Structure 1
Amino acid sequence: MEKNSLPFYFYEMEMNDYFTYLQIAQSIKDKNLSEKIKKIAYMEKKHASFWEEFLKNRGLEPPPVKKKNLKIGFMKILSKFFNPVLVISFFELGESGAIKNYYSFLKNENLSEEEKEKLKRIILDEIEHETFFARQVNEKGLSNIRDFVLGMNDGLVEILGAVAGLSAVYLYNPLIVGVSGLIVGVAGALSMGIGAYISVRSQRQVNQAQKEQMEIIFDVAPERAVEEYKKRLIESGVVKEIAEDITKKIGKSKEAISKLLLQETEENEIKSGLFTGFAYLVGVFFPVVPYFFAPNSYIALPFSILFAGTVLTLVAVIISVLSGINVKKKILEMVVSAFTAAGIAYLFGSIMQSIFGIQI
């Protein structure tokens, strides 16, 4: 995009966001959430007004912006079945991109001091919007979706590599490839599940030990706990003088000091283990299933890659939506890395087949 066209693009983007957020907000039954999204909508309109003024000050006419009624209507329908925050996040992926573009424009464009200050406030608003949607995702439990697809992605990529390598060895016996991939997948799911269980349980045990130790310190030498609190503040980037001032104000408040010094975990180790293992198993299904129906591995492998590629694309979109990163780059990154691993595994399998002369 040319530098001179950016203000036009920014104006259209902000107006489109205004129309979209306002329409979706009006269809949300949760009044509190609706009002918050309306507030964001009016803020986007304010941002559009800045770009409109920016263009007019330079003798340029802002382009007419029409509502994208088809897109908004589709989003309204989806909002009836899915959480509206997730729907908005899915379709409005430009927030993090807008922040970067605005910051680059701020640094490189010849702006007046007043324009710079206004643009800085707009950047802060966009960061606030992004934070709001991220917070909503966590509060509504939608972050579990990201955890699930990440676990599923692990199973899918690892087993795709395994069946690709085995396909080169067992060219005419796809059932062996399928069964072997399934066995490896189940073993991987157990490993991932047990690993998650041990990780969460270990963290809980460490937290409990630290809590007990902190209780003793508060009882025996509370000044030591206060000193440790001040040290942590300084390590986190707080200026020494300010850290000392905060420490004095908090005094020997056990609750305030414990919040910084102790890392709490609310995860349940059993739930975490089962969730992780199941997510991994779901990923195993897609690259393995063609081998139970195809007459040979030559036919099964392309279908395995096709299924895996389709699911990886969907996974990449979900991760991008919930993490606020570029969709196209994430899809390319995940698909290319998975297919590269599969290609290397197939090559290695071919080498093993040639060395050992396996004929099955």
Structure 2
Amino acid sequence: MDFNDLTPEQREAILAAQKNEITEYHIYTKLSASIKDQHNKEVLAEIADEELAHYKFWQRITRQDMKPDRWKVWLYFIISRVFGLTFGVKLMEKGEQRAEEVYTKLADTMPEIHKIVQDEDRHEKKLMELIEEEHLNYVGSMVLGLNDALVELTGTLAGLTFALQNTRLIALSGFITGIAASFSMAASEYLSTKSEGESQIPIKAAIYTGLAYVFTVLFLIFPYLLFESYFLCLGLTVINAVLVILIFNFYVSVAKDLDFKRRFLEMVSISLGVAALSFLIGFLVRVFLGVEV
């Protein structure tokens, strides 16, 4: 088949696929060279070799050399180093799914593409066999700490905002409540993990739960330390809560192959619902009990 005989759309799709393959070859090669785990290193190196073979397949058709997208190579390398190999590789894997759609459109014209599609399917299975990173084994503990902090502290701050109407007092009360609750949650997670005899180490589960709680607390009360308007602070706190839910659920959905939209909407609904109810309680306390600060 002559490359010039193809339609402009087909030529563009093939050139994009060729560039994508050489880019992913460099990504996998760089990741393989940077990690210590021998099993992960070998799997990534093997996948890199297959990506290079795919690139050469397209090169024989286009008779052109393509340079990798260096920005994309460094982007996924940095993401994998900062957020973990599993997250970085699976995020890139979603890009491979888009590449498979291109291959499917070209399959009728070039039957050899079926082998590439099969290779991409094997990539996904091999990636799933990568040894799990330790922190992913404790995602449940992090979810527990983060979700409890979001629901409890967002509600607490909403209630305190109307009851106290003083940003410094609200921040102090929220901080004390949040730190005490984080210790309580960490202790509960320790006892729960220990009693259930799971594969997790109880002390690590407690640490992950406590840290997720503390960081969430600090992020939520931060606006009250910057501004004087308590309603502005409450609005920013709600925005911060939604951002935390968005970022964390995106991370977990990619790393653990979970439904992002359903989990995100569920957590947002619960957190904002509790905040609204607590705000109403704070209003009633101030009005009917005559609390003035």
In the alignment, does 2:136 pair up with 1:143? Answer: yes
CA contact (8 A) 2:153 2:178 kept: no
- The structure 2 residue matched to 1:45, chosen from 42, 47, 52, is 52
Deviations 1:127-148 (A, max 9, x none): 2342244x2x43xx34257456
- The structure 1 residue matched to 2:281, chosen from 319, 338, 352, is 352
Letter in 1 for 2:217: V
Runs of 5+ unmatched residues, structure 1: 205-264
Partner of 2:216: 283
Mapped to 2, the partners of 1:199 and 1:315 lie a distance apart of 23
How far did 1:40 drift?
1.6
Mapped to 2, the partners of 1:70 and 1:302 lie a distance apart of 37
User: How does the TM-score come out when normalised to structure 2?
Assistant: 0.68
Q: CA RMSD in A?
A: 4.5
What secondary structure sits across from 2:228 in the alignment?
coil
Partner of 1:16: 23
Letter in 2 for 1:98: E
User: How does the TM-score come out when normalised to structure 1?
Assistant: 0.58
Partner of 1:86: 84
Mapped to 2, the partners of 1:165 and 1:42 lie a distance apart of 55
Structure exhibiting the larger radius of gyration computed from Cα positions: 1
Letter in 2 for 1:348: L
Q: Residues 126-275 of structure 1 correspond to what in structure 2 (within 5 A)?
A: 126-133=123-130, 135=131, 137-138=132-133, 141-143=134-136, 146=139, 149-167=142-160, 169-170=162-163, 172-186=165-179, 188-204=181-197, 265-275=198-208
Aligned CA distance change for structure 1 residues 23 and 311 (closer, same or farther; 3 Å): same
Partner of 2:118: 121
Mapped to 2, the partners of 1:6 and 1:199 lie a distance apart of 53
Aligned CA distance change for structure 1 residues 193 and 9 (closer, same or farther; 3 Å): same
Mapped to 2, the partners of 1:104 and 1:65 lie a distance apart of 18
Aligned CA distance change for structure 1 residues 156 and 26 (closer, same or farther; 3 Å): same
**Percent pairwise identity:** 18
Q: Which stretch shows the higher mean deviation, 124-133 or 96-105? A: 96-105
Deviations 1:54-84 (A, max 9, x none): xx5xxxx5886322234445667x59xx859
Q: Which stretch shows the higher mean deviation, 152-161 or 142-151? A: 142-151
Partner of 2:6: none
Aligned CA distance change for structure 1 residues 122 and 7 (closer, same or farther; 3 Å): farther
Q: How many residues align?
A: 280
